[in-house]
Structures are given as C-alpha cells and as structure tokens.
C-alpha cells in the first residue's frame, strides 16, 4: 500500500494496488480491480479531472464517478483529513474563538523538554510566516529563544522589509541582530537592525541612542510594521531576557510589583495593563501603543509556566495571534472561562 499526499484539498489518500486489493478478498475481478485502482490514482493522486480520466480509459465520466464511489466502499481508497504540521485543530479553533484571534495554532509537542518545545513552536511560527507574509508587509521581530529557532526553521519568506523592534541582550549570534540577519537572508528584503542594548543604565544614554541614525532607521519604521512575531517572557531570571539585563537598582524597585508578563520589554499586570513604573526610559524598544497598532502581532510562547504571561499579553491587546502548545492552551481556556463567569 502506498500513502501519498494529495494536492488541492483532496486530503491524503491511500490507494491500494490491484494485487493488494485482490489479496484482501475484494469482490471485484482482477481486471476490474486494475482499472479501479488506475481511476483512483489518476483522480486522487494525480489530480486529474473525471473527464480526463474518462477520455484516457475510453469510458464515460459517469462511469468514472461510479468507480470512485465503489473504490471507497470497497476500501481501495481511504480518505484521511490531516494537518501537515502537528497541530490540534479543535483546540486551536477554541482558542481563536475565545480570544478573538486572527490566527491560533496549538502545536502537539512531541516531547516534554523545553528544547523540543521551542523547536516545534518555532517551526510552526516559520510555517505561518511563510504562508501569510507578503512582499507588501513590513515584518517586525523581537527576540526570544523560540524566535531564534523560528528563524533557523524558515525556508521561504516573501521579500519584505524586516525591522528589529528591540535592542539586544546577550552575545551577537544569540540575539535579535542575528535573528534579523537570518530572516533577511531568507527574505532577501531590506533589514533594519538595532545596534544597541535592550536596557541601558540611564535615561540620557537611551535618548542619545535613539538619536543615532542607524537606530533611528529602525525605530522610525515602527509605525509601518504590518506583521510582527514576538516572544513572551514570564517575569523572573529563567523566564525573561529583560529581567536578566535589568540594573540591580531597577530590579529592586520592581520587587514588590506583581508582574505577569514581559513582551518587547513592556511589563504587564495580570489584566494586561502596563505596570512596573517608567521602565521604558531605560529601554530601546517599541512601546505598548505602537505594538497595539500593528495589524497582526503573533505571540510565540508555550509551556504551562508561560500560560499566565500569554494570557496577560492577550488580555492587554498586545498580540492578536498566538502559537502555543496544548498545555498552555488548555490553561488559557480555563482562565478565560473563569473570567467570563
């Protein structure tokens, strides 16, 4: 038995050979079986029209239709409706409807470790960008380890402009600049990186950096971004790059603040409202209002530990599409249901 993906929405089809069907005790005779499997292959696997098949075999197209019906009845053809990537379609739709999202993809992660989680969410994000980004878009990106895997998984992208939305953390090769370079290498569109740290020591340094021509070339394009991919951090040393980069004095001042999430260095309370005081004066990043005005912001984050942070970002309107995993999706739906009561 061969299993072949069928184009143009006919699903994935299994078409037995005549010999396989005959061995299973199919009531058709061997010659009839041979013709039936030929008809099925032409229609389901080669995407030929019924009239084309009829002309080739010297029969009427009504006969072709009857043969196809009989193939399904006899089990020669079995139709499977499948999603190319490992996505839970039902859970994805529940999430999309509950939060009124443009896109929601709930990935069936194949292993519980964080490396697999990031890789498979990143792959799903790469596939979505390939599908929805056009050459008329301006694509904005923040940084995160899952987005880094997204860039590595990307094989095709429309030749659009790519704009870095935050300064950098960590070493080059593991930050936003490198991510932007990878995306631009695939897209072959213009790239606008930000050669500056995400967090600086004082407001004067931040103002001076914003005035530098190279940085201004990126930040001046924030209002033009039409689609964006962002990572979400849960506030803490293991869950947020901003936390790790924050000056000790600023961290101390935030120690009594209940911070549920961080996205593009924007700190959010559980209800999605910005919190944490005037952290923006020390960061080189897109701000909350600019992020909200982007037509589609895709949040890429997963794991049960990130569910609270994802929920905060969605409630705050800072993302309107999401790629996550089953554990986070179920917790998001439970939280949403409690709020609606």
CATH at residue 280: 3.40.50.1360
Among the candidates 22, 45, 80, a domain finishes at 80
Query: pLDDT at residue 314 above 70?
Result: yes
Same domain for 195 and 52?
no
Look over the chain and give the mean of its residue pLDDT values, rounded to a whole number. 84
How does pLDDT run across 290-299, given as a tens digit for each residue? 999 999 999 9
Domain shared by 229 and 315, yes or no: yes
Read off φ and ψ for residue 70, nearest 5 degrees. Answer: -65, -35
DSSP 28-42: S-HHHHHHHHHHHII
Residue 5 has pLDDT above 60, yes or no: no
b/e per residue, 174-193, with b = 16+ CB within 10 A?
A: ebbbbbbbbbbebbebebbb
CB 242 within 8 A of CB 199: yes
Q: Give the pairing type, strands 12-15 and 77-80.
A: antiparallel
Q: Do 124 and 160 sit in the same domain of this protein? A: yes
Count of domains forming the chain: 2
CA distance 79 to 92: 23
Same domain, 122 and 248: yes
Gap between the Cα atoms of 286 and 130, Å rounded: 24
Would you state the structure tokens that stand for residue 29, as one six-digit string?
Answer: 């005779």
Contacts of 134 (CB under 8 A, 6+ apart): 158, 160
**Long-range contacts at 335-339 (CB < 8 A, ≥ 24 apart):** 335/307, 335/308, 335/311, 336/98, 336/99, 336/311
Q: Residues 34, 11: one domain?
A: yes
Say whether both 66 and 93 belong to one domain.
no
Separation of CA 275 from chain center? 27
Task: Indicate which CATH number applies to the domain containing 70.
Answer: 1.10.10.10
Q: pLDDT digit string (tens) for 133-147?
A: 999 999 999 988 899
Residue 221, number of CB atoms within 10 A of its CB: 18
Whether residues 129 and 260 share a domain: the answer is yes
Yes or no: say if 162 and 184 are a contact pair by the CB < 8 Å rule: yes
Q: What is the pLDDT of residue 8?
A: 30
Q: How far apart are CA 340 and CA 278, in angstroms?
A: 31
Domain coverage including residue 220: 89-340
Strands 261-263 and 266-268: antiparallel
Measured between its terminal Cα atoms, the distance across the chain in Å is 52
Q: pLDDT-derived band of residue 156, with 50, 70 and 90 as boundaries?
A: very high
Q: Which of 80, 110, 130 is the last residue of a domain?
A: 80
Whether 191 and 230 share a structural domain: yes
Question: Do 75 and 93 belong together in one domain?
Answer: no
Same domain assignment for residues 53 and 110 = no
Together in a domain, 42 and 93? no
Q: Tens digits of per-residue pLDDT, 220-278?
A: 999 999 999 999 988 776 667 777 777 777 777 777 678 889 999 899 999 999 887 66
pLDDT bin (cut points 50, 70, 90) of residue 55 is: very high
pLDDT in the model for residue 12: 45
What span, in angstroms and rounded, lies between the C-alpha atoms of 292 and 94?
23
Of 80, 114, 139, which closes a domain? 80
Q: Is 10 a residue whose pLDDT tops 70? A: no
31 with 161, same domain: the answer is no
Helix (H) or strand (E) holding 228: strand 227-231
Q: Alpha helix locations (H) across 58-109?
A: 61-73, 89-99
pLDDT at residue 103 in the model: 95
């Amino acid at each position: 038995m061969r299993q072949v993906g069928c184009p143009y929405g006919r699903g994935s089809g299994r078409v037995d050979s005549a010999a396989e069907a005959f061995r299973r005790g199919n009531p058709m005779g061997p010659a009839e079986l041979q013709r039936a499997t030929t008809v099925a292959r032409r229609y389901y696997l080669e995407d030929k029209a019924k009239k084309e098949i009829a002309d080739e075999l010297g029969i009427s197209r009504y006969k072709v239709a009857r043969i196809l019906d009989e193939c399904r009845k006899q089990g020669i053809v079995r139709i499977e409706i499948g999603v190319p990537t490992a996505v839970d379609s039902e859970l994805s739709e529940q999430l999309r409807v509950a939060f009124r999202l443009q896109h929601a993809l709930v990935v069936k992660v194949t292993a519980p470790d964080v490396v697999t989680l990031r890789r498979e969410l990143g792959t799903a994000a790469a596939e979505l960008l390939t599908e929805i980004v056009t050459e008329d878009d301006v694509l904005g990106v923040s940084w995160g380890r899952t987005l880094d895997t997204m860039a590595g998984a990307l094989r095709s992208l429309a030749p659009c402009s790519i704009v870095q939305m935050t300064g950098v953390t960590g070493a080059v090769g593991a930050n936003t600049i490198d991510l932007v370079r990878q995306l631009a290498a695939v897209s072959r569109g213009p790239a606008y990186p930000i050669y500056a740290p995400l967090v600086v020591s004082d407001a004067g340094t931040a103002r001076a950096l914003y005035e530098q021509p190279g940085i201004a070339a990126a930040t001046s394009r924030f209002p033009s971004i039409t689609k964006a991919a962002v990572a979400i951090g849960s506030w803490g040393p293991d869950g947020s790059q901003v936390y790790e980069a924050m000056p000790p004095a600023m961290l101390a001042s935030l120690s009594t603040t209940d911070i549920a999430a961080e996205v593009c260095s924007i700190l959010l309370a559980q209800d999605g409202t910005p919190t944490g005081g005037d952290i923006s004066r020390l960061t080189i990043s897109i701000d909350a209002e600019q992020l909200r005005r982007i037509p589609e912001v895709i949040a890429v984050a997963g794991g049960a530990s990130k569910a609270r942070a994802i929920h905060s970002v969605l409630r705050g309107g800072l993302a309107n599409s999401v790629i996550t995993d089953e554990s986070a999706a179920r917790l998001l739906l439970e939280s949403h249901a409690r709020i609606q009561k």
